[in-house]
Structure formats: C-alpha cells, structure tokens
C-alpha cells in the first residue's frame, strides 16, 4: 500500500461550447500487488481550484460557480518496474465531483421553480512514471 501525492496537475474539462481550466492537488492511496509487474487499484480525493472558464456567461452560472471543488477519484491499472525505484504504469482513472460546479434556477413543467446543481464526471487513460521515495 502506498500513499500517493501526485503534486499539482493542470486540468481542462469541457466540450466545444463549455470549457473549465483548473489546478488540482490529488491525494490518495494506491494498493499495488506484484513483484516485477504491479496490479494497481486505488482512489482518493482531489482538491481543485478553478482558474478560468469559457462558454457559460449566464447570471446563474456567474453568481453560483464554485472556485474550489472536491472530487473523488478511483483508478485501476498495471505497472512494470524499470529498476528498484522507478516503474512505468498504465491505468484508467474515473473522477466524480463531490461538490457542485454551479447551480441553475429551472422551472418544472408544472410551473414550480427549483435549483439544479451541476456536477461533472470524467474518465481517462493515464501513462505514468512512478518513483518510490523511501526514508533511509
């Protein structure tokens, strides 16, 4: 079992009409099983700070957007040891927003107003070089 702190990462999330850019600090735990080839399963929490956004300029969005977000992440993959301290890994990571990105006021078909919160989710394939740092 290894504590994983990946440092600051830059993230861009969106599509052709909406785009968010943020800095993220992931903190998590990876369970690694194996000798020369590791099987990896892990998860953690990502702290995210919104740097900029494009495409959503409505009053609802600007009034309710959150500059700080908390995201959960799970990952699974495989790694190959290149030497005693360095390994190369291939993994799939799935992220789920725990806090809302923004809220929008909506109207139901019956005429009642309600607030709809936007939470995102993303998944991606990752190729990483991992280094083990041990206290001597």
Residue pLDDT, tens place only, 23-69: 988 888 888 888 788 899 999 999 998 888 777 666 666 777 778 88
Mean pLDDT of the chain: 82
Residue 98: the pLDDT is 92
Q: Would the pLDDT of 136 be above 60?
A: no
Q: Would the pLDDT of 72 be above 90?
A: yes
d(CA 9, CA 44): 15
Residue 60: the pLDDT is 63
Q: Residue 22: how many CB atoms within 10 A of its CB?
A: 21
Residue 44: the pLDDT is 92
Q: Which helix (H) or strand (E) holds 56?
A: none
Q: Summarize pLDDT for 79-88 with one digit per residue, the tens.
A: 998 888 888 9
d(CA 122, CA 31): 22
Q: Would the pLDDT of 135 be above 60?
A: no
Tokens standing for residue 111: 């005429």
Q: Would the pLDDT of 91 be above 90?
A: yes
Report which of residues 122 and 104 the model is more confident about: 122
d(CA 51, CA 83): 38
Q: Would the pLDDT of 11 be above 90?
A: no
Q: Specify the long-range contacts of residues 33-37, CB closer than 8 Å, at least 24 apart.
A: 34/79, 35/81, 36/80, 36/81, 37/78, 37/79, 37/80, 37/81
Query: Furthest-apart CA pair in the chain: how many Å?
Result: 67
Q: Evaluate whether 115 touches 61 at the Cβ level (below 8 Å).
A: no
pLDDT above 70 as % of the chain: 88
What mean pLDDT do residues 116-130 have? 83
Give how far Cα 125 sits from Cα of 27, 47, 92, 95, Å: 18, 20, 5, 12
């Amino acid at each position: 079992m290894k504590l994983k702190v990946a440092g600051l990462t830059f993230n861009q999330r969106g599509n052709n009409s909406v785009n968010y850019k943020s800095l993220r600090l992931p903190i998590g735990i990876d369970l690694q099983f194996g000798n020369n080839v590791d099987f990896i399963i892990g998860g953690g929490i990502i702290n995210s700070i919104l740097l900029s956004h494009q495409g959503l300029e409505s009053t609802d969005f600007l009034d309710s957007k959150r500059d700080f977000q908390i995201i959960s992440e799970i990952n699974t993959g495989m790694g190959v040891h290149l030497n005693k301290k360095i390994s190369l890994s291939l993994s799939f990571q799935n992220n789920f927003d725990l806090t809302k990105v923004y809220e929008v006021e909506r109207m139901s078909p019956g005429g009642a107003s309600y607030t709809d919160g936007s939470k995102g989710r993303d998944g991606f394939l990752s190729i990483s070089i991992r280094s083990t740092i041990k206290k001597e």
